[in-house]
Structure 1
Amino acid sequence: MKTIKSEGEFRDITGASGTVLVDFFATWCEPCKWLDSILESIDASLPDGSLILKIDSDLYSYLASEYEVRSVPTLLLFVDGKVAWRMNGFKTGPELLEVMETFSRGT
């Protein structure tokens, strides 16, 4: 799991091939903290070529606006550089792994 430090880093990673789950969060958001625990628990079990990115929606509000993030937490799944799935709120670890595995297989 990686926390984004710049817009360039965000665009480089999400624009590359592979499956990238992006967590738009805020430091003041309690549900974001719960989701962080879930993401940490699944990080080691991700499908090959998959990555979890965290991006602070307050620090990078223009990116949150660009991707129409209206509430936190919001998850976006990028597949080969394009948003393929999105969700507001959170799912359990097994549910998130299932989503990532499904999209990493291309189904």
Structure 2
Amino acid sequence: MILFLVNFRKIFKVQVQLFILEIMDGIQDKKEILKVLDELNNRLIAKETELHNLIESNAKLLQRIEQLEESNRKLRTKINRGSSFWKDLFAGSFIEKIVNGFKKMFT
């Protein structure tokens, strides 16, 4: 297996060298090579900038999601407290006895 990987690496290296030679044969002037490299560098910088902007946007979205989840938790707590308040007020209290008394009177 190791021998296969070593041979594969050598073959790949030779193929890359041949590819580079073909490119250099197609481009005669060093200035043209530099122009191509500059263009590739500019594209790389643009992609890096785009990636950086996406990372910042993602961080802002994650922060907003956390804020919304916190608001959701607070609202659920308020709702649970409120419903518990009315249940506690009605169940086992004087009000429950009055309501049940009225029910018995009218049924």
TM-score bracket, normalised by the shorter chain, equals under 0.3
- In terms of Rg, which structure is larger? 2
TM norm structure 1: 0.23
TM norm structure 2: 0.23
Richer in strand (by share): 1
Richer in helix (by share): 2
